Structure 1
């Protein structure tokens, strides 16, 4: 099977700091891949390079066999890459419904959408448990619900690759359980790239895990292999892996 996404020698330098250091990476279609690592490991910078929010200093990014290294973010969205931010980026003064409607309209404009606007919006809201809050102002939602709204906005784009950056931050235990069920459902139709500090979520969801440390790939493997990796335990997991 051909990878959906690959990076080769991907590097990002900010002044004298190398945030992402020659990363080779490949994700297969339908995979749930987690990227973990300590704070400052380069995780968010890495996915920002993939989605086009940042240009790389060097290296190559390919999506479905196509070189997208130089494409701007909006062109990557049209190809099917959706990204939810580590910090919420909803339109606070618009309703929950209207936030998702904007994403559906963008998809419709790219001619990848069939069906009514309302059906598309309510489907995304229902999948994230927000259908009952459709008319609430987005800025009035609790932080965890704003995170779920971002996921709904991403789903409305009908992505082939959905990048989730710290999606469980601010969610209750019950919401986290529902979220893990949602990610498994999403993975039936799309590939998921998950940046997450909640290790029980990572271990429960990921088919494979990539560990970044100081911008480099420290280890890669199944949850069982990562849990047993002594270098990963020393760098990141610590007592969590025990």
Structure 2
């Protein structure tokens, strides 16, 4: 039986009358790729903020590797092995690719900085672009740089929030190969609107709708779920 690396129970986050996250349970098995999907306004972005420590839940608990992290700030979760990327790139546009990766590597207290940066760049296919200013990269390469910065921390759990947004069609296959190569050493939580990517990568899928879990299961089960079809698969695939 797979071990659970992250367990969220009864998470709630309300904004006035809006129940953005309303009693969500989520369990991530170690070494798996788990996708989180749902229509616009489903609560995906708020849930990611709760898991990464950017927001504190109104109720509920989050445990990582058996330890309660519900009230830990984001930087402390990073130190414990939770890495994440955002819907909007969070790179340092005025610095080189090398310097962006170096800043991430330094947070991991790596002794051989140059070697660690080169290895991180190679993992995302940017080793030939290390001198380039990050803000001049294509959007797809900026997304890869952000993922590389996350991987430089050697996370045990990597949360990827809409990672293929802005990718050209030819870049998506390379991204999927990258993600497949992360497991089982790294658990991946993938928040993604591209259902072809979700179905190709995810071992399990959780569907949110109106702040609650609508369904959770294997890709084939989710695809065949009538409630999911009505709420999401039959409609818009845009992220929130």
- Normalised by the size of structure 1, how large is the TM-score? 0.95
How far 1:188 moved relative to its partner? 2.9
Question: What's the secondary structure of 2:155's corresponding residue?
Answer: coil
Q: Do the aligned residues in 1 keep the contact of 2:157 with 2:189 (CA within 8 Å)?
A: yes
Question: How far has the Cα of 1:162 moved from its partner?
Answer: 0.2
Alignment match of 1:210 (pick from 202, 206, 225): 206
**1:70 and 2:71 correspond:** yes
- For structure 2, which runs of at least 5 residues remain unmatched after alignment? none
Shift of 1:142: 1.4
State the match for 2:29 in structure 1: 28
Match of 2:72, SS?
A: coil
> Which SS does the other structure have where 2:21 is aligned?
strand
Asked if structure 1 preserves the Cα contact closer than 8 Å seen for 2:30 and 2:184, the reply is no
Give the superposition deviation at 1:132. 1.0
Q: Distance in 1 between matches of 2:16 and 2:146?
A: 31
RMSD (CA atoms): 1.3
Question: Distance between the aligned counterparts of 1:201 and 1:60, measured in 2?
Answer: 30
Q: Hey, what's the Cα distance between the residues in 1 that align with 2:67 and 2:6?
A: 9
Deviations 1:83-112 (A, max 9, x none): 10111110110001100100100001xxxx
Residue-by-residue CA offset, 1:158-209 (whole Å, 9 max, x unaligned): 0000000000111112210000000000113100000000000000000000
Q: Deviations over 1:142-168 (max 9, x none)?
A: 111111111000000100000000001
The 1:233–1:188 alpha-carbon spacing in structure 2 relative to 1, beyond 3 Å, is same
Is the partner of 2:7 in helix, strand or coil? strand
Structure 1: 4+ residue segments shifted above 6 A:
none
Query: Is the contact made by 2:32 and 2:184 (CA closer than 8 Å) also made in structure 1?
Result: no
1:100 paired residue number: 101
For 1:70, what is the secondary structure of its paired residue? coil
Aligned equivalent of 1:118: 114
Distance 2:20 2:140 in 1: 28
**Is the CA contact (8 Å cut-off) linking 2:91 and 2:145 kept in structure 1?**
yes
Q: Indicate if the aligned counterparts of 2:10 and 2:61 stay in contact, CA closer than 8 A.
A: yes
What's the counterpart of residue 190 of structure 2? 194
Pick closer, same or farther for the CA change 1:16–1:189 going to 2, 3 Å.
same
Contact 2:106/2:113 (CA < 8 Å) preserved in 1?
Answer: yes
Residue 59 of structure 2 corresponds to: 58
